[in-house]
Amino acid sequence: LIGYLSYRGRMQKDSRCLDGSGKCEMTPTASYLVDDNEAEEEVPGPPVFYWPDLRNLLSDKLSTTHLENTSKYSFEAGQSEDESLAIYIHEQFESFSLDEVWNDEHYIKLQVKGSSDNTVSILKDGKEEELERPSAYVAYSKSGSVSGKPIHMNYGLKADFQKIKNLDISLNETIIIFKAGKIPLAEKVSNENCWAPLRLEDSSYFSQAHLGTGDPFTPGFPSFNHTQFPPVESSGLPRIAVQTISSQALVKLFRQPRHLFVGQEQPCTKTGGQKWPSSPQHLARTPCQNQSCLVRVVQLAQTFHSRACSFSPGMSKPVGNYSILVFCSVPLGLDNAAFPVLTYSGIPVVSFGFCNKDEEYPFLGTTQDTLDNLKKIDKLYALMRAAAEVAGQIALRLTHDHELFLDFERYDEELLAFQEKILPYYSDVKELGLTLNWLFFARGDFQRATDSLRNDISNSDRENRIIRRALNDRIMKVEYDFLSPYISPKDAPFRHIFFGKGSHTLQSLLENLQLLRTSRDSVDVNMLKEQLALATWTIKGAASALVGDIWNTDNEF
């Protein structure tokens, strides 16, 4: 009461109550709370756009006509048409008033066919009889000539090889024949334990046998002119010769004695360039895999520019429906452009597409992927517009809120599911003098770390940019911290322990544990120890990084 009275005595009275007229516009008590006669003007803030409004604006601005105009011309990487397209996109982006637009040139080695076609021949009574001289070739295949007995291996899957092994058929000095499809050619070649594989393909298309991404002679870098280290060969390059063969030649082959000869020339190399625009800071990036993707990105940039003046990210709490992205969801494959982004770089990524389950687009990744063949797709531009709209909604959804719209707690479920898979082998591991407890403890640490991050997000000031950026950095690092730091990117580029490829993955650890029941003698105990240790340390390291900087934690040592 004393404080109130003393404060009241210091307040200036409203002059309109002191003019002697007795007509005050406010009560005397209220007049003591007025500092002056001027009312403070309210400063208008940026307009608030809720999620349904943004979604409708995006849909209205996307134009099928613009998609058709942008995709009038075909192009090939490294050619003059590609250079013209890069200039056109650069000019378009500059006209959209983007923050910054620049060109970045990368040089890679492209393998093309030599001066003459490769040959597939039959050795009969010491004489070589040419079976076929296919025009197709496999890039990055090992050069040389080999001979051996032919064995048909269906699609070249691991399950197909296991069936052959179960029949006690040796694959030494054999040539494997498999059909195209199911999985990428590079993955099939990596499954081989033979002298050379033949890929059954009724076309003149080419493929590549490099189990990796980017330039195989500078792994881990976009191009050799941007690295400080001398070029080295990727571990994903095959150590065997690979060639295609037609079904007609295959019929002739199996009518003959089972001995086959494969000859292959050394391909020459070609250098090409491609320019891509990009932007700094936290990104919602939409990559391009082919011409139709590139057209959609240009259309999206134009659409975002047309309403950039009225959209302020992070001003509302929208709710979006993304059932279209999880319906018919499939794992990322090696032939998916999003795969290296996730498994090599550790960046959260989503890949989607519209496809006819009864008919695949057969030209993707081949020389026949031209504009004329692309236009043969039914309702092409309507599908391109729909894909652009979905990509635009994803980009908007990621930038709309202050908090990144990423479900980092999902890995709690994935780790728990993995623990349930390996739990039945607890006693088998114990017989080897090992334990799974430390792996379980690491999973618990990770769950507590995600709980801590969720609490920090809930208790933070959403309008404080510094705090929000620090929290978003922690969210973004969840994916990155699951890249195994204990292996070299040169030897195993796909280091993600959930989605990568190699002995460091949780799937490889599970397969080794399963061998304890089916083929105990084939289990390398030292390798199993190493797998358990590295998986535990990786998960524990991810948990520690998720908690935040060590000087900001309250852990007692």
Strand 138-139 and strand 207-208: the pairing is parallel
Domain holding 12, by residue range, is 2-31
Q: Residue 500 domain-assigned?
A: yes
CA distance 263 to 113: 13
Q: Residue 39 domain-assigned?
A: no
Question: What type of residue sits at position 378?
Answer: D
Cβ neighbourhood burial of 7 (10 Å; 0-12, 13-18, 19+): exposed
- Check whether 536 has a pLDDT greater than 80: yes
Same domain, yes or no, for 99 and 226?
no
Q: Residue 542 domain-assigned?
A: yes
pLDDT (tens digit per residue) in 326-354:
455 677 777 777 888 888 888 888 888 77
pLDDT (tens digit per residue) in 431-464:
888 899 999 999 999 999 999 899 988 888 878 8
Same domain, yes or no, for 424 and 513?
yes
Question: What type of residue sits at position 191?
Answer: N
- Check whether 538 has a pLDDT greater than 90: yes
Same domain, yes or no, for 82 and 174?
no
CA distance 305 to 303: 5
- Check whether 134 has a pLDDT greater than 90: no
Note whether 400 and 314 are within 8 A (CB).
Answer: yes
Same domain, yes or no, for 540 and 459?
yes
Tell me the two tokens of residue 229: 């280290």
Q: What is the mean pLDDT of residues 119-148?
A: 75
Q: Which of 23-32, 72-81, 212-221 is modeled with the greatest confidence?
A: 72-81
Longest dimension (CA), the chain: 129
Strand 144-152 and strand 174-179: the pairing is parallel
Q: How many CA atoms lie within 13 A of 529 on its CB side?
A: 7
Same domain, yes or no, for 146 and 186?
yes
Q: Residue 36 domain-assigned?
A: no
- What is the pLDDT, as a whole number, of residue 238? 63
pLDDT (tens digit per residue) in 83-125:
887 888 888 888 888 788 888 776 666 667 677 777 777 777 7
Q: Radius of gyration of the chain from Cα atoms?
A: 31
User: Which helix (DSSP H) or strand (DSSP E) does residue 261 occupy?
Assistant: strand 260-264
Same domain, yes or no, for 360 and 246?
no
CA distance 386 to 3: 66
pTM, two decimals, is: 0.67
List C-alpha distances in Å: 514 to 418, 422, 430, 501: 13, 9, 14, 18
* Counted domains in the chain: 4
Same domain, yes or no, for 99 and 119?
no
Question: What type of residue sits at position 199?
Answer: R
Q: For Cα atoms 242, 244, 247, give the angle at the middle one, nearest 5 degrees.
A: 145
Same domain, yes or no, for 379 and 296?
yes
| Closest CA relative to residue 241, chosen from 147, 331, 369, 152 | 147
- What is the pLDDT, as a whole number, of residue 274? 25
